[in-house]
Amino acid sequence: MNTVPRAVAAMIRRELLELARIEDDRAADAAAAVPYWSHRPASIAGHEAAAGALRAAADRFLDLTAH
């Protein structure tokens, strides 16, 4: 991955973070639709896991954008 130009790495990182934000929003929307005493749907955990994976992928580009 060290052959990726910094500008490209920064752009990819921004996009990954935006996708993570979208997944967080989807998780929040799904959670808001369920009463707090109800069982939490698995889709919420799925959106949260996707957001975490996207942030981890974005972090791999962080070193490339810092130099």
Residue 67 confidence class, pLDDT cut points 50, 70, 90: low
| CA separation for the pair 24, 43 (Å, rounded) | 12
| CA separation for the pair 31, 25 (Å, rounded) | 10
Q: What is the pLDDT of residues 14-39, one digit of tens each?
A: 999 999 999 999 999 999 999 999 99
| CA separation for the pair 36, 28 (Å, rounded) | 12
pTM for the model stands at 0.85
Name the burial class of residue 26, with classes exposed (0-12), middle (13-18) and buried (19+) by CB atoms within 10 angstroms of its CB.
middle
Six token digits for residue 50: 């996707």
